[in-house]
Structure 1
């Protein structure tokens, strides 16, 4: 026992005196991050369970705890025989839980909206870091505010009183209006939990597509969609960067053909009179990844307004390669002198 006491003294006083409910919120943040990011745990149902509990409850509870550090009427036991102050401005347990769900449902979309206008976007890791940071910051504010109150005025988690009060509110309401509000509250919580649970358990793939584009490198070494080479000398090289962005929700194998073509316009149709293949790429790109490759263009065909065409195929290309059967196409109009 003495050894246990000695080890406990090594823990900072602030951590030893951390309120139990706020310590539970911090624990929920830590466990949720582990369940979402750890390689083995992330494949278990624990990720779905914590993925529901954390965003639906933790941020709102920390916010409510920061706003109302004091106990409400009948939500705490007076310490050392002191009388319970009936004049405090706290809230009772049912109100605290209801506000926690409501504020969480309000805070999470706001965080996502802010992330949408940042370079990180709405992705798992940025969302997780943002919500975790917000929850921990609110928990710290709630802890400081609760420590600033006299001990007999601080909020404590009265589990038995909550259960008793919950039974009375749900099964013995004071009026029909209270009954309707209770039913509406329970229905809203179940609907929110079910919606988030379905979204987590059965995520929607969304639109499937591949991006295909050409870039050049400016004087600062940055890739830009500008200043493409259009004037060539026969046999001399200039460089462009070929880019593919995979949003197909699976790893994809692509084939890229680069052709230099002599074309003519006949009515509304563009006909190819002569062409030569300059290069072929066959990259494998994972979902949500981008592939870039420099292409040294070395034309041998001469002429004005030649079409430098890049054709993208998903998987292997057909025996006949042309613009009509390509998945994506982009091109430049170039002049090549002898």
Structure 2
């Protein structure tokens, strides 16, 4: 025990004298940073638990502690004097908690707004560091202002009083009815905490779907869903980017087929007259994983309004893949000219001559 006391005395005086509630704020900031930046821990529900308190309550509580270091109620011997009644300068516990939530909701968006105009941007790491740093600054100011007050006027969280009252209410009830109500209250709290913990640890899955899309590469190298090539020459190639994103909440295997189809549209019905298979890929994706591939399209038939169809299947495709039996389908209408016809159109016509 003496060894522990000597170790404690080695700490700086401001740390030894730090009020318990401000020490909890510092621990909350460090725990949140750890749950965000420590590998493995940042994939657990702890990140959500600490993150909610960190955003909704902790910075506001630190600010309110810096603004109101006084206790909400003065001791009875100081409350009444010969000169009249002395009004307390601080706020009570309920007001402190309410203002902590309100100021936290105001502080965090303001920090995000400032970060938006900096090179760091609104990203996870800058937000955690900025909010945590400002919270620790508020804690330092709050501790200094609280130490400047007489001990009787300093705000203190009455932990010991709460624990003593709770022990008396739970373990020494006045009647059997109070004992039964205490048991019911304890069971209700356990059920409520368990329900919240389960909701955080096992969140409900959203809608299951797969994103399937075509992109092109712009002049600046960015991928955009615009300016698709629609004019081709038979035997020559064009470039497209096909993408798949798995949002099925489970691992999935996909097959992507690319077909060039000559179709006939009549009476709201589309009939495939001729088709040629251009490409085929198989890919295995985990949940929330994306696959993209830049590839070349080389038409093997010519004609106007040919359908360049991309067919997506989960697993292996059927023996006769069509637009109707595909899991997802994309298509472009393209025109393909013969190379000989294209060359002939580019040559100048011969002028007639006579001998």
- C-alpha spacing 1:301/1:14, structure 2 compared with 1 (3 Å): farther
1:143 and 1:189 mapped to 2: Cα distance?
35
1:189 and 1:6 mapped to 2: Cα distance?
39
| 1:234 counterpart residue number | 234
The within-5 A match list for 1:82-101 is 87-93=87-93, 96=96
2:229 and 2:129 mapped to 1: Cα distance?
48
Q: 2:250–2:286: 8 Å Cα contact kept in structure 1? A: yes
The within-5 A match list for 1:198-277 is 198-277=198-277
| 2:138 counterpart residue number | 141
1:90 and 1:128 mapped to 2: Cα distance?
35
| 1:67 counterpart residue number | 64
Structure 2 residue matching 1:148: 3-state secondary structure:
helix
Structure 1 residue matching 2:257: 3-state secondary structure:
strand
Unaligned ranges ≥5, structure 2: 81-85, 117-121, 171-185, 339-355
User: Cα offset for 1:245?
Assistant: 1.6
User: Cα offset for 1:89?
Assistant: 2.9
Q: 1:60–1:99: 8 Å Cα contact kept in structure 2? A: no
1:57 and 1:337 mapped to 2: Cα distance?
63
| 1:181 counterpart residue number | none
1:54 and 1:214 mapped to 2: Cα distance?
37
2:167 and 2:127 mapped to 1: Cα distance?
36
**1:279 and 2:276 matched:** no
Over residues 49-72 of structure 1, what are the superposed CA-to-partner deviations in whole Å (9 max), with x where a residue is unaligned?
774466258842541342243232
- C-alpha spacing 1:256/1:166, structure 2 compared with 1 (3 Å): same
Structure 2 residue matching 1:203: 3-state secondary structure:
coil
User: Cα offset for 1:41?
Assistant: 4.8
User: Cα offset for 1:157?
Assistant: 3.4
Structure 1 residue matching 2:141: 3-state secondary structure:
helix
Q: 1:58–1:135: 8 Å Cα contact kept in structure 2? A: no
| CA RMSD, Structure 1 to Structure 2 (Å) | 4.4
User: Given the alignment, which residue of 145, 148, 151 partners 2:149?
Assistant: 151
Q: 1:59–1:135: 8 Å Cα contact kept in structure 2? A: no
Over residues 233-287 of structure 1, what are the superposed CA-to-partner deviations in whole Å (9 max), with x where a residue is unaligned?
1111110100112211122211100000010013221000000000001122222
| 1:26 counterpart residue number | 26
Q: 1:66–1:139: 8 Å Cα contact kept in structure 2? A: no
Q: 1:29–1:54: 8 Å Cα contact kept in structure 2? A: no
Structure 2 residue matching 1:323: 3-state secondary structure:
coil
| 1:55 counterpart residue number | 52
1:133 and 1:289 mapped to 2: Cα distance?
30
2:265 and 2:55 mapped to 1: Cα distance?
65
2:47 and 2:226 mapped to 1: Cα distance?
47
1:249 and 1:126 mapped to 2: Cα distance?
25
Unaligned ranges ≥5, structure 1: 119-124, 171-185
Q: 1:61–1:96: 8 Å Cα contact kept in structure 2? A: no
Structure 1 residue matching 2:244: 3-state secondary structure:
strand
- C-alpha spacing 1:128/1:315, structure 2 compared with 1 (3 Å): farther
The number of equivalent residue pairs is: 301
- C-alpha spacing 1:89/1:58, structure 2 compared with 1 (3 Å): farther
Normalised by the size of structure 1, how large is the TM-score? 0.71
User: Cα offset for 1:198?
Assistant: 3.7
**1:337 and 2:334 matched:** no
1:93 and 1:166 mapped to 2: Cα distance?
18
Q: 1:61–1:97: 8 Å Cα contact kept in structure 2? A: no
Over residues 208-250 of structure 1, what are the superposed CA-to-partner deviations in whole Å (9 max), with x where a residue is unaligned?
1111111111110011111111111111111010011221112
2:73 and 2:169 mapped to 1: Cα distance?
14
User: Cα offset for 1:146?
Assistant: 4.0
